[in-house]
A and B are shown apart, each in its own frame.
Chain A
Amino acid sequence: MTKEFCQANHLFVGTSGYSYGEWIDSGFYPSGTHSSNMLDFYTQTFHATELNYTWYQMPKAPAIERMCTKVPKNFKFAAKLTRTMTHEIKKGQWAKEVMLYRQGIEPLIQHQKLLCILIQLPPYFKRSITFRNYLAALLDELAGLPVAVEFRHDSWANDKVFSELERRKVTLVSVDEPDLPDLFPRLDVITNPDLFYIRFHGRNSKGWRSGNMQKQFDYDYAHWELAKWAATIKTAMMQNTAGGGIFFNNHVRGQAPKNALHLIDLLLKDHHHQKT
């Protein structure tokens, strides 16, 4: 039922990555699951995931090709843009990197498995002339591909930015993260009628700037927090777009899949409620 509901509404709910050993302890994966079988188990519950490793390493077409053949027909991947184009930009080289990236993810396009490319920008990527020009040039290079942009600095929370993204049909990623100074606020602005995109990072203010992912993303969403989002998704987001991607990044101790399933339940309940 869950899957049918998501498919019918073009909703792609999942987690940021799927290969976490601690998800065995949390019970999401059966005891003794080999890492190579995790994707199989994952696809039994969700039908989308974010590819985290493409941030660390330029995607390689043969590996992506093999991945595409392992997942069901309707499964989608959101592929993170590699760090050499977001965090470690080298003048004069990044355009070549975009070309390599395009080649690397080609199998995702061929197999119709690409939900979008996720450009996750670092906190120091402020709205300066240099960075504005760079982002514009980067989006030009990625033209023709579905793209979602996640800002980590609040200087980008600006109507001019939103209208430019709208003009380009680029999705603004709605982020759920702690209420800390300089962080991009929680917004439900739609800039692309084809796709909305939400990333749940958790609201762990204490661990956010610890430099340790296990602390940064250690958060268990409360029922009311997800219920509020479910209402927003139903009213402000699903009605104004053709589909959406919702991903939980609070992977620590299996909280991400648990919260993702809870959110689907809430959306499903609302859906039944409206029907009756």
Chain B
Amino acid sequence: MSRSIIHLNIADFAVAVENNIQPSLKGYPLVIAPLGKPRAVVYDMSDEAYKEGIRKGMALARAKRINKKIKILPPSFNRYEQVMKDLLKETFAFTPLIESGISDGHIFLDVTGSGRLFGPSVDVAFKLKKAFKKTFNFDPIWAVATNKLVAKVATRVVKPVGEYIVAPGDEKAFLAPLPLNLLPGIIKKDLTKLFEFNLFFISQARALTLEQLKILFNYRAPLLYDWIRGIDPTPVTTIYNYKNHSIGKNLSIIRSDHEFSDDTNNADLLKRALYLMVETICKTLRNRRLTGGATKIILYYSDGLQSASKLKLVPSTSNDMAMFKKCIPLLNKAWTRRVRIRHMRLICEKLCQGAIQADLFSAGTKETKQTELILAMDKIHEKFGKNSIRAGLTLTLHKDRHQ
């Protein structure tokens, strides 16, 4: 039996959230972008602003030139995340298999196994749409298909409002007449190459064999070959802890955030903040007797843009010092712009069970000594409080806010 995947998409999510707070903004061109920043870029914009030619990532100064009277609001990332969490709570009633971004208004649900409880997937999607409208005053676009790729394309086809049901077996025919840029995962570089060969539509790209695609795209060719045929076996990846509906307290990832009191590009400050976050994450890992197998750093710049970098931790660890050592080059890799940084996020993924039994013949290596030190610090923290003993690197960070 094929899968039943629902994709819900609240178009222009940040704008939709702001519109709910200030309904008087509805129907007017609106841009979400950091205010008072010389090189700020557009984070999100309303459909009206889009129609005027304003795009995401466009310099705010240029957007202002397009429409001098345009309303600009600063982004409220925390608010968007909170709304997203509230939306997810609503979806948990139908399936535990939910995938979503942190604050982008996109939610995928795999309802293949819950049909016996809640009925056909189309009905579940429709109910969710109604619930979102009633509870949150959002009007999401929804699509039902047999995989995430086709469901996402379907919502893109009907954006900004509507619904699309792609019948099982109809994926190939549904995609055929659509332009290639509607396919999620195809990057600008891929499109440029395809356009060079006068291939603009999915049906045209299908004329290429896998071998021909390999000449153009090398190792990405098999992926592209499948995508243009509507094949996407990737599962709906569950990210959140459904019990808590919380990203920070989640079972499959651990996250820590740091908001700088003043936007900064001071390397020392960033490193100190990073150490604090590593400490928090490793403490959680140790409490849960887990180790982290991968870390990801996301930097949020003052102009609204983000950059990220990811690293696999081999071996997996819950040791503050070992993880910090690995995260330093990761920070440098993620830090690709000169613009000052407002917010930093560290995510620890691929959690696995830590060693239950200590090595019988372990030598007194640097790592074991570090582990002993950290465990001793944990005990002091438990007895005398978090600030009783701290790593020297973090001492000057009292001015900043640590979440």
Contacts and interface: CB of A to CB of B under 8 A. Distances in A.
- Of B119, B123, B165, which is in contact with the most chain A CB atoms at under 10 Å from its CB? B119
A36 B169 contact: yes
Where chain A touches its partner, the secondary structure class is helix
A35 interface: yes
B136 interface: no
Interface residues of A, number: 24
A213 B167 CA distance: 20
B165 A213 contact: no
A63 B119 contact: no
A92 interface: no
A53 B119 contact: no
A96 to B, nearest CB: 14
Interface stretch (B110-118, B295-303, B367-375, B394-402): B110-118
A63 B170 contact: yes
Interface string B1-43: 1101000000000000000000000000000000000000000
A56 B120 CA distance: 12
B163 A35 contact: no
Contacts of A185: none
A33 interface: yes
A53 B126 CA distance: 11
A57 B163 contact: yes
A66 B170 contact: yes
A53 B165 contact: yes
B174 interface: yes
Given A35-B168, A35-B169, A66-B170, A214 B119 contact: yes
A22 B168 contact: no
A24 B117 CA distance: 16
A205 interface: no
A57 B119 contact: no
Interface string A19-51: 111101000000011111110000000000000
B165 A34 contact: no
Contacts of A122: none
Contacts of B167: 19, 36, 53, 63, 67
Interface string A56-84: 11000011001100000000000000000
Contacts of B118: 212-214
Interface residues on B, range: 20 to 34
A245 interface: no
Contact of B119 (A24, A34, A212): A212
B116 A35 contact: no
B164 interface: yes
Contacts of A34: 1-2, 168-169
B70 interface: no
B174 A63 contact: yes
Interface in B83-116: 112, 115-116
A17 interface: yes
Contact of B1 (A17, A33, A53, A66): A33
A35 B169 CA distance: 8
Nearest to A25: B116
Contacts of A66: 170, 173
Contact of B2 (A35, A52, A213): A35
B322 to A, nearest CB: 47
B318 interface: no
A37 B169 contact: yes
Contacts of A33: 1
Nearest to A213: B119
Contacts of B313: none
B173 to A, nearest CB: 6
Contacts of A19: 120, 167-168
Contacts of B122: 52-53, 56
A89 B163 CA distance: 17
Contacts of B317: none
Nearest to A60: B164
A36 B168 contact: yes
Interface string B151-191: 00000000000011101111001100000000000000000
B231 to A, nearest CB: 13
B120 A32 contact: no
A72 B146 CA distance: 25
A21 B168 CA distance: 12
A35 B1 CA distance: 6
Contacts of A17: 120
A157 to B, nearest CB: 28
- Of B115, B120, B146, B164, which is in contact with the most chain A CB atoms at under 10 Å from its CB? B120
A212 B126 CA distance: 12
A35 B167 CA distance: 9
A33 B168 CA distance: 12
A36 B165 contact: no
B163 A24 contact: no
A49 B364 CA distance: 75
A56 B163 contact: yes
Nearest to B127: A211
A34 B118 CA distance: 20
Given A35-B146, A35-B168, A53-B165, A22 B123 contact: no
A21 B112 CA distance: 8
A57 B146 CA distance: 17
- Of A17, A19, A37, A212, which is in contact with the most chain B CB atoms at under 10 Å from its CB? A19
14 contacts: A19-B168, A21-B116, A22-B116, A24-B1, A34-B168, A35-B2, A36-B170, A37-B169, A53-B165, A56-B123, A56-B165, A63-B167, A213-B118, A214-B119
Given A56-B123, A212-B119, A213-B123, 16 more contacts: A17-B120, A20-B115, A21-B1, A21-B115, A22-B115, A22-B116, A24-B1, A35-B169, A53-B165, A56-B163, A56-B165, A57-B163, A57-B165, A63-B167, A63-B170, A212-B118
The 5 closest A-B pairs by CB, nearest first: A36-B169, A35-B168, A213-B119, A35-B2, A36-B168
Interface of A: 17, 19-22, 24, 32-38, 52-53, 56-57, 62-63, 66-67, 212-214
